[in-house]
Amino acid sequence: MSHKRNIYTVYQQNDANRFKLIATALILLYSACFVYLIHTTKFFQLKGLSPNLLSFFFIIKVLGGIAYAYIHSTRYGGGDSWMYFQDCKIIHSALSNNPLHYFYLLLGPNNVFKPEFIQPYVQQMGYWHDTAAYTVIRLNTIIYLLSFGHYYVHSVFMAFLSFIGLTFIYKTLTPHIKSPKNMPIVFSIFLLPSTVFWSSGLHKESIIVFALGCLLFKLSKLSQIKLNLKNIAQIALCFLILTLARFYVLLILLPPTVAFLTSINNKSNVLWQYLKAYAIVASLILFVHHLYPAYSPIKVLSIKQTQFFALDGNSNVELNSIDNNTIELIKTIPHTLINTMLKPLPWRTNSFYQLLYSIENYILILLFILASKSAFQFKKEAISFQNISYFILFFSFSLIIVIGIVVPNLGAIARYKSVVLPLLFPILLILWKAQTNAKETTNINY
């Protein structure tokens, strides 16, 4: 009996090794395919960046995605990403049982009436009622056809998806500066630790970075070309993706998007367009909160905050309850900025990643201070760049404040905030360089 058990143990080890070997081969194969696309596709032919350097950035993201999968599977029991993967497996199992069931689960509506024939699948799934999570599951169910059930292989595809978004950001921002000394800007788009780690895993951040980058690029082109049906459809698709992946990101995007569009035709005072848009939104929020409290955005924030308070975490921070109260909400904002921008303090970090995140925070604060003068002293002819800058600044800090109001956990704050860092860092670097170097300022292409 002991001999049979030893044989079975050896068989299990050999099977596990074979599984790892296949996963490694698939990771290398798909990474090579994407590198080939980077070298041959017109989209990735970027001025100032060679295909080899872009490929290097992509490989770093793949490694970040693998690290994300490994850390979450070994230290956190897999986390949400592993549960998404398990739901993908359940949907994929329907393909061999009944393809119609598979396509209904993949493409049909979720969180609504469940037909009898999908009940057995839904009962096993953890995220049928969560539209945002189910969006990630839908995408990875398609990837599952190519990963053959290997969890780490999904990181390659998610890394490439967000890499496309980062490339869109690069395409949007770099035409506004012609200096050859722009590698810090390039690194701030592609190689920030938070971006590499959080937007390369099997999670919503990869999808959001893709959609944000695409949306920013399409909006930036509206000042150069006429609005047509194709452009409207592309922008609408970006909004749809954001709606499905994280609805609150879409809501936060609406005021700066309206201000951006009005500033294209009204070029007298771009900053005023943004201030006016946010004043209108603030007035509407107060109006709804007092006259229709059941639909109040402040109530929604309060509920979400309460839900986060109920969760246990290893890096929770102090956060005052807003208690569905306007005054308490306003009083909480300074505290939220401390949590999202100053914590953790470098000497109080307890891991290498926390230290990197803390350093990112303080570099971001320093850049904001250095670039603050340029943010209010644009040339009159710099309307296009001014509009993009305000769009990024208003959206990014609005998102950071909302995250800080709702989330009392540093790990979650780092993940949610990571989607705006490849926007904030490069725009602040461009503004700072324009302010401090007169020669470079004359080279800015507005």
Ranges of each domain in the chain:
41-77+152-442
How many Å apart are CA 335 and CA 108, to the nearest integer? 42
| pLDDT (0 to 100) of residue 435 | 66
Residues 41 and 24: their CA atoms lie apart, in Å, by: 25
Instruction: Of 223-237, 297-311, 394-408, give the lowest mean pLDDT range.
Output: 223-237
> pLDDT tens across 35-80, in order?
999 999 999 998 888 999 999 999 999 999 999 988 888 877 778 8
Q: Return the SS3 of 433.
A: helix
pLDDT of residue 431: 86
Q: What is the pLDDT, as a whole number, of residue 404?
A: 93
* Percent of the chain clearing pLDDT 90 (strictly above): 49
For the ranges 5-9, 14-18, 349-353, which has the lowest average pLDDT? 5-9
Burial-class residue 283 by CB neighbours within 10 Å (0-12, 13-18, 19+): exposed
- Please state the rounded mean pLDDT for residues 380-402: 85
Give me the residue label for tokens 């539209």.
131
pLDDT at 323: 87
Amino acid letter, residue 171: K
Q: Name the one residue in this structure whose structure tokens are 């799934």.
A: 125
Check if the beta carbon of residue 387 is closer than 8 Å to that of residue 260: yes
Region of poorest pLDDT, from 8-22, 36-50, 78-92, 112-126? 8-22
**pLDDT exceeds 80 at position 102:** yes
Helix/strand/coil for 380: coil
Look at 213 and 269; give whichever has higher pLDDT.
Answer: 213
**Contact between 204 and 245 (Cβ < 8 Å):** yes
> What DSSP string describes 216-253?
HHHHHHTTTS---HHHHHHHHHHHHHHHHH-HHHHHHH
Compare 113 and 360 and report the one with higher pLDDT.
360
Residue 181, token pair as written in the block: 């000394």
